[in-house]
Structure 1
Amino acid sequence: MTLQEVTRLAKMGEGLHVEFKKKVAHPEKIVREIIAMANTEGGYLLIGIDDDGTVSGQKYIEEDIFILDKAIKSLIKPNLQPEKAILPITAKKGVAIYQIEKSNLRPHFILEDNKKKSYVRVEDRSIQASKEVWEIIKRQKHEQDVFFNYGEKETLLMKALTDQPNITLNQFAQIANLSRYMASRTLIKLVLANVLKIVPREMEDLYALK
């Protein structure tokens, strides 16, 4: 990637496919961004970019790369190895470019407080994936037709989605008088069948007709 291409990406600002940092101050947090991109649609992580998108570079960028690579290797499960390159800006400053592909091994996760936590990219943010998002990511890797019986709970769901643009898991469970587990299984199956789409959110995911 050329300096012109990096500058163009930085000027566009952070988004679904782009995240940039000035330096590797908190590698465990940056690892979450890498996981989120690998679990979603891939993208670029740029180190040495100011908050306003200025490509100023980072001093001794090799040290930052060493620290981040160590975190990637030790924290991310299953193992993930994004491609990387260094673009010199001056004699002492450079930009690190990590290219993250949508992973065939997704969902990737990190262990935090002895719990598996995964992340997905939503617009310009990386958020923790719910159990439903995790399951959908895992099962979407295997392309196969998903069949379901259109019963009473599905009818109640479709009626609710004609009256409102989206619904949460808790709302559906209440409307259909289902346990949270059964409501979750139903929504996951309908997403996998391409009837619904899921919109990950930090508080509660939203489900809408596709």
Structure 2
Amino acid sequence: MDSCLQDKILAGESKVLEFKEILPQGDKIAKTVIAFSNTSGGQLIIGVGDDRTIKGIDPDVDIFELQDRVASIIYDLCYPNILPEFYTTNVDGKLLFIIEVYRGNLLPYYLKKEGRNHGTYVRIGSSNRKADVETVIDLERQRINRSFDEEICFDTSFDSLDLTPLQKRFEARGKILDIEKLKSLKLVQEEHGHLYPSQALLILLGVRENATVKCARFKGTTMGSFIDKKEYSGDLFSQLDQVEMFIKNHLHLAGVIKGLQREDRYEIPMEAIREVILNAYVHRDYINLGRDIKVGIYDDIVNIVSPGGFPSSITIEDVLAGRSETRNKAIARVFKELDYIEQWGSGIKRIFSWCEEAGVAKPLITEKGDFVDVELYREYTSVQESVQDDVGKKLTVSESVSESVSESVSESVSEKKRINLNEKQIMTLEFCSLPRTSKEIFDMLEVTYHSRNIKLYITALVKQKLLIRTNPDNPKDKNQKYITTEAGKLYVEENDNRRKTR
């Protein structure tokens, strides 16, 4: 089996991957095929258990008869017609049967017997979910290449809207926002001599009730209690400014000497933070009125959560490779016109580049169900630095700290830079005093066997030489174990001492 497919199986089921130990019943096959067709495509692999164990199918099965049987099920139960590819692959003497489905062009696809409104399925995370009416309508929009924000709101009077916030942004760029410009940007449409606003205009002006953002500074690394919280509404551009200021008020500001000049900088590059926030506003799902953007600041990360997964035709791998697909075309057009967007598809690479230049860990971007989660890791320094908190009080920090910026901190610490790990990473180091498999580690942490957790709780520790593989010559050995290094043991000991002295 090629290593790419093997890696996929080890990572577990996802938006584009589903396992079945044996061929399921017709309806279950049809629902998965329909969900893949309506979303990003995917592979249904027969012969793999839910625990990722490769079982294989009966080696004596007539493959051609099996292909014909599955093709008949799909043809009989699904509409419009779906044409997947069927093939087999041999893994250590065990045969896998793969049904590969591509995203369709005739959206929405649905079960014939249930009809379009009740038989449409989409892929959310690793499960098939029956689409609600709004989702079915959105699939129809995708078929004709129209976005939700371009739709006209005939029940809202254009004359009732205050365009001042938008006009000021255009004026600041030396541009005029007149009726013709509004039309060209698809913010208004004229019908029978009357102007009507698009959804995009209502969203940009903050008229829609879910065009809001909630921000919170939590104490510690969990959501157990908060120190500060704010909710911002109004036009999106003002929200962007307010969110940026909220984050700045809760990040450490360090003085860095460049040449003969002192330069103040935040522990996370503000350029990277702005880009993540901008992406959240431009690419989020505005259809569902019950959700909004959430910004959480913890001792170890800044977490920005955006409603709606990635656009249906792309996956996380596509996004990280620089592929761009805009969910809200009219909104994106306005942000591009105002120079908030530099170049389509370049945002993620720039975020990584800014963090790398600042010596900060690469942000973690994941698609969790029907929302996108971005974690920007806070960078701590061992030099004396002045930190401005949200009430203007100077805080002197002499070590890497994870205390609230509203608390005064002054500690005597080692001069060397300290690696900062979260609680579960420390638990991993403690647990691996004896050789442990990745499954044993994840069972102990009570987390799922997911690529994100592999990177966070194993790979990151290996890279920092706090954890080593017992078989370093074969990193992908299925019997691989991990053991804490002397440096890792020293970190755990120092961490225990710091806790005792607090």
The correspondence of residues 169-184 of structure 1 with structure 2, limited to 5 A, is: none
2:4 equivalent in structure 1: 5
Report the Cα distance in structure 1 between the residues aligned to 2:23 and 2:31, rounded to whole angstroms.
13
Within-5 A mapping of 1:4-23? 4-23=3-22
Asked if the contact 1:19/1:124 (under 8 Å) is kept, the reply is: yes
Q: Secondary structure at the match of 1:121?
A: strand
The structural deviation recorded for 1:147 is 4.8
Aligned to 2:208: 158
Q: Which amino acid aligns with 1:50?
A: G
Cα distance, 1:54 vs structure 2: 1.5
What's the offset of the Cα at 1:50? 1.1
The answer to whether the Cα contact below 8 Å between 1:7 and 1:55 also exists between their aligned partners in 2 is: no
**Superposed counterparts of 1:56-135, under 5 Å:** 56-59=55-58, 60=61, 62=63, 64-89=66-91, 93-112=94-113, 114-116=114-116, 117-135=119-137
Distance 2:38 2:106 in 1: 9
Q: Residues 58 and 95 of structure 1 are in contact (CA less than 8 Å); yes or no, is this contact kept in structure 2?
A: yes
1:67-88 CA-to-partner distances (Å, cap 9, x unmatched) read 3222111111010011121113
Whether the aligned pair in 2 keeps the contact of 1:47 and 1:58 (CA below 8 Å) is: yes
- Structure 1 22/122 Cα, relative in aligned 2: closer, same or farther at 3 Å? same
Q: Distance in 2 between matches of 1:14 and 1:126?
A: 12
- Measured after TM superposition, the shift of residue 102 of structure 1 is 1.2
Matched position secondary structure for 2:145: coil
**Counterpart residue identity of residue 158, structure 1:** R
Pair 1:197 & 2:286 matched: yes
Deviation, structure 1 residue 47: 0.8
C-alpha contact 1:24 1:68 (8 A) present in aligned 2: no
Report if the CA contact (8 A) 1:48-1:95 is conserved: yes
Paired residue type of 1:7: Q
Query: Which residue of structure 2 lines up, in the alignment, with residue 26 of structure 1?
Result: 25
Structure showing greater radius of gyration is 2
Q: Say which is worse superposed, 102-111 or 136-145, in terms of deviation.
A: 136-145
Higher relative contact order (CA 8 A, sep 6+): 1
Counterpart code for 1:94? L
Deviations along 1:93-150, whole A, 9 cap, x unmatched? 52111221111112111123x5331100001111111111111111112234725356
Residue in 2 that maps onto 1:170 = none
| Counterpart position of 1:179 | none
1:206 and 1:66 map into 2 onto residues whose CA distance is 44
Deviation at 1:90, TM superposition (A): 6.7
* Identity in percent: 23
Who is 1:184 aligned against? none
Q: Partners in 1 of 2:11 and 2:62 — Cα distance?
A: 23
**Alpha-carbon spacing, 1:162–1:3, altered in 2? closer, same or farther (3 Å):** closer
Segment of structure 1 superposing worse, 36-45 or 93-102: 93-102
Would the alpha carbon gap of residues 197 and 45 (structure 1) be closer, same or farther in structure 2, given more than 3 Å must change?
A: farther
* Whole-Å separation in 2 of the counterparts to 1:207 and 1:133: 15
* Structure 2 residues without counterparts, runs of 5 or longer: 161-198, 216-281, 294-306, 308-502
Cα gap change, 1:89/1:77 in structure 2, threshold over 3 Å: closer, same or farther?
same
Contact 1:47 1:95 in 2 (8 A): yes
Amino acid corresponding to residue 212 of structure 2 in structure 1: T
1:139-181 per-residue CA deviation (whole Å, 9 max, x = no partner) reads: 112234725356579578534543779xxxxxxxxxxxxxxxx
SS in 2 for 1:197: coil
CA distance in 2, matches of 1:157, 1:61: 60
Deviation larger for 15-24 or 5-14? 5-14
Aligned residues of 1:82 and 1:98 also touching (Cα < 8 A):
yes
Amino acid at match of 1:139: R
3-state SS of 1:58 partner: coil
Q: Which amino acid aligns with 2:152?
A: F
Q: Structure 1 stretch 123-132 or stretch 151-160: which is displaced more?
A: 151-160
CA deviation after TM superposition for structure 1 residue 45, in Å? 1.1
Moved over 4 A (4+): 149-157, 193-196, 205-210
TM-score under structure 1 length normalisation: 0.69
Paired letter, 1:49: V
